Structure 1
Amino acid sequence: MLNTRAAGEIRLTRRAATQRFRVREVGADEACPVLKVYARTARATRPYFGAGLDDPPEVFAREAHLHPVFELLPAPA
């Protein structure tokens, strides 16, 4: 996460194809619905969240600073 912030971009490889993306760290208002779905989907992450699965997104927003969320944007060619 720190490297992603510093570099401002990442490379993702799937099979033999590598794609570059610019990254934008989103604010708590954009992160909260993503974090709620993430906590529900990725069970192993649940202990790291104070918010419960049935809590509204606003509760996830309060701890968004602990769980960075990045938007992936196309990198210039």
Structure 2
Amino acid sequence: MRRLFSSVIRWFIVLGWRDIASAPFDCAIELAVIDDKQRPLGFPCIRRTDGWFNLGTMQAVRASPTHWRYWQPDVLPMSCC
């Protein structure tokens, strides 16, 4: 079990995931949870002094995140000029 946990942590580090304690405040980030499997939450979140919130709805996040990385939207902004 310890070996599995170590490999999951290495996978997160390779993909830019950082420990939750280092998450910045008031910045769009993506959260991840490691429980029986690893999984990103899949939506942008923001950290405030009173907890984690879904950036799109400002609803409280009910999960207990373990890792974070800067939010990278699926579609990057484009310019026609």
TM-score by length of 2: 0.26
Q: Which has the higher strand share?
A: 2
Q: Which has the higher helix share?
A: 1
TM-score by length of 1: 0.27
